[in-house]
Amino acid sequence: MTPPNWPRISPALFYRDAATAIDWLCATFGFTLRLRVDTPDGDVAHSELEYSDGVIMVASEKRITGRADDHLGKSPLSLDGVNTQTLCVTVNDVDAHCARARDAGANIFADPQTDDHGPEWGAVRIYGVEDLERHRWWFQTRIRAGQPPS
C-alpha cells in the first residue's frame, strides 16, 4: 500500500555536492525540503524534496551505506556531462518558472516553446534547463489535454 502523502514514482538524483544541490533546487526550481539525513562525515545519505504532489530524492554520489548498490549513482559531472535520465515537472506557469531559473543563473538549454502533438497527446508549453551539476530537467505547463482514441 502506498503511504499517505507519497507519490507512486520518486526518482533519485545523485550529486557530488548534494547539500548545495538541495539548497539550489529549492531556491531555483521551487522545491521544498521535506527530509534530509546526513552521514557522520557530512554527506547527504538521503533527502526528499517536494514539488506539489511530487517527490524527488537527492543524495551524495559517494554515500556509504553498506548496501550492494553503493556507488551506482553518479552526478553528470562525474560522467562527462552524460545524463541517463531527464525529469519533467508540470508547473502552473512555465514562462514565470523559466524566468526564475534564468534569474538564478541556471543554464536554459531550450527556451520556452509550445509543442502541439495533436488531439491524442495534447499540447504543452515547455522549456529545458540544466541544474548546477548538469542534470537535465524539462518544466511544462499543459495547454490542452489529449483525448485518447475510443
Residue 114 to residues 50, 104, 141: CA-CA distances in angstroms?
Answer: 26, 23, 9
Instruction: For residue 76, give the DSSP letter.
Output: G
What predicted TM-score, i.e. pTM, was given to this entire model?
0.86
Q: Buried b / exposed e across 27-66, counting CB within 10 Å, b at 16+?
A: ebbbbeeeebeeeeeebbebbbbbbeeebbbbbbbbbeee
Task: Express the helix, strand and coil content of the chain in percent, nearest 5 each.
Answer: 20, 40, 40
Query: What's the first-to-final CA gap in the chain, in angstroms?
Result: 31
Tens of pLDDT, residues 138-148? 999 999 887 77
The structural domains of the chain, ordered by start, are 1-64 (3.30.720.120), 85-150 (3.30.720.110)
| Cα–Cα dist 67/57, whole Å | 17
- Mean pLDDT lowest among 53-67, 88-102, 113-127: 53-67
